[in-house]
Amino acid sequence: MTVKAETALQDLVTLSDDLKSNNYTDGGLSTGAGWKIDQNGNGEFESLKVRSALTVLELVYNRLSAEESEYVFTESGTIESIEENSDGTYTCHIKKRNDSDFHAFRE
């Protein structure tokens, strides 16, 4: 890397425990600026475009919506484990997000 390229890189990113832009400020999901990738691989960006496929273990989507008319909303959850029963059926155990979490699925 040339001195000029190294200087240009230092103008763009800060190398420490985290890799981040010099204008990075933490703002949760609503405010903030810049980008950051921490030492554990967690990233914070303004937007992300994936051209082919996105593979995730768990997808958390934060948006409030209001619906009017005749819509049906159903329960959802994350499967924690699957158990095969002796009669050839399966039991799915739903992961609780916290101690007071509940859902309409049969326990």
pLDDT at position 1: 55
pTM: 0.45
Query: Beta strands of 19-97 (E only): which ranges?
Result: 19-21, 36-37, 43-44, 79-84, 90-94
Average confidence (pLDDT) per 10 residues, the chain, 107 residues: 62 74 83 87 88 84 71 76 92 81 68
pLDDT at position 71: 73
pLDDT at position 88: 92
Side chain identity at 97, as an amino acid letter? R
pLDDT at position 57: 82
Give the separation between CA 53 and CA 83, rounded to whole angstroms: 29
pLDDT at position 14: 64
